[in-house]
Amino acid sequence: MATQAQQKEFINQIAPLIVKYAKKNGYKCASGAIAQACLESGYGLSSLAAKYHNYFGLKCGGSWKGASVNMRTMEEYTVGTLTAISDNFRAYKDMETGVAGYYDFIAYSRYKAVKNQTTPEAYLTAIKAAGYATSSTYVNNNMRVVMAHNLTAWDAVLNGTSDTAAAVAAAGAGQADPAVSFTAGKIYTLNVELNVRTDAGMWSRKKTHAELTANEKLNDKDKDGAIDKGTKVTCQEVKRDGSDVWIRIPSGWIAAYYQGNRYVA
């Protein structure tokens, strides 16, 4: 999980490139694409981004002739049901070619409505409608990233009414998502099966079935160390990392809200 410092560093690196190629290709909104890069790549920390410079989850498709890598991913073909699949993803040599590749990808005719959108919500709605992502909450998830980092400041850079320094400064004054709130002592229900970790972060070790409490072992029916969907858990502590929220339950830490997705209710 990216720390606040890592999130800021990633945005400061990729946003100027997105502005550069958005302008080159005639797009009027950069903030939506910046949010996509943050969300799709985990702020540049995913294997697909860190090793292969694919920051947008771009699949190969039938026309791609460049380098590729096969990876596991999650798709939401049916609302509320995540399906794990393996697919081939485009690979690039560096961040700039990865950003340029994104604009090559959305040059397909089905994305033609995206180019004229002037707000991040309209941009993301158009790209989702064209089939870019299967997540039913894709627009909302990305808009939370836009709000958290004041990414619309980069639209002003694209349109020539501001400069990069002002956009970088604005990112530090992002808005917290008021809808994301968890309270110690309250009981929550898992929306999906969740791994339990030793600390609040994806970098920390996943716990095994044997390390769960006796009660939570009963809710790990396949004994893989992940607590089953629908399990009720008691929040003992809350930690925030940027826009992500982790809660501690009796067995350890779980991701309550991560990269725009709420996993407990």
Residue 60 near residue 142 (C-beta atoms within 8 A): no
Distance of alpha carbon 248 from alpha carbon 254, whole angstroms: 6
Q: pLDDT tens, 32-57?
A: 999 999 999 999 999 999 999 999 99
CA 91 to chain centre: 19
pLDDT score for 242:
57
Name the pLDDT band for 69 (thresholds 50, 70, 90): very high
CA-wise closest residue to 263 among 213, 187, 194: 194
pLDDT at 225 over 70: yes
Residue 223 structure tokens? 């004994």
